[in-house]
Structure 1
């Protein structure tokens, strides 16, 4: 089963995009003067990274295994394309990615999906399809499950009350914590790794929190069955203990691991 079953609509609406500082860093990475400049976004989901970088690249391939998310990406991105920019939305696995003949990425972006991939296999394949001066960027922030804000920890407890203490991943359980992303990159062809940390502050409403939860693998809508209304009421009740104005502030950090081949 797709661990994000039923989450695509929520993902497109409630997942936060890239902070401006992260966009600026990525825009300058991976042979920025080459033309045409090519971007490969693996595990694109609804295209959040692509959306942020549309005007920085000439030729973009965005890949995902979820057809529902790709459909949302098509609707949201196609009309935004700057003149002359080519966008290809492709259904497939990152481990099997094969670009058009002669096509090499100047920058590869991989967001949170990196933890779900066969990472050594993906990076070995990318070594064949990334330009000599290109780069691979792995980026993520803390999810609600791992966040440290008190209201988020309280909401996580509600999820655990309904679904059990172990983090879910669709109908299964979340895989064991993998080695740090930077460590995986350093063991690959892209071993020259820099790390950047971008603080972010977000303001959420109760509706936004619930929408975000339903966009995740650990709180996908189908997991709650006929108890979904009770779950939503419990989340709203616990959030009410933290704000009288339906505003919940999240402090987070966006981490970017940028890997290049050694000089």
Structure 2
């Protein structure tokens, strides 16, 4: 009797998880040290026998975990874990909606000012990096994939555009789990309604980018506050109504 193959979505999720684990192990044991460039997509596909989609999803998850970063037109590089004794918000500290809302409040306090400083100090290179993150976000959504990795990358690039390395250090410490969807919605499939929501999120990102591009510090501050406050309010509503 022929055994039925598992559903493609579940199988793909398992392959992605396996690849994340394998690459994560290499980062943790030093085979892929901080600053090291990850192998090309084609090489990872061949080595692990997986599709390009699986490789990209795995890299997106590693980005969300703050373990790697993708540099537009160059490649993906290992960030590592930093100092284990330093301040860090671990996944175990983001188990509830209240935990996620608490981090959003921290982000509102920090990132609104970061956006204003980025508008004042950004370089053309910073703008290119921000644009690349926005385009990666939009591309993922239109391909019916979530965009946690590019979402985190966009906020990290804003921190870098402040020209104050402490902002980027803090964002890297928080890692991709600071994106609410990374913790609470990781198993929610992409539906038409969800895709529309993600398009709206990227529209808010575009408003932040536009203010930074124009070097309008007040507009950048306001756009970031609106963006993060909207996310916080959506999570608050989820505590009293079922999440769609």
Same fold (TM over 0.5): no
Structure with higher strand content: 1
Structure with higher helix content: 2
TM-score, normalization: structure 1?
0.28
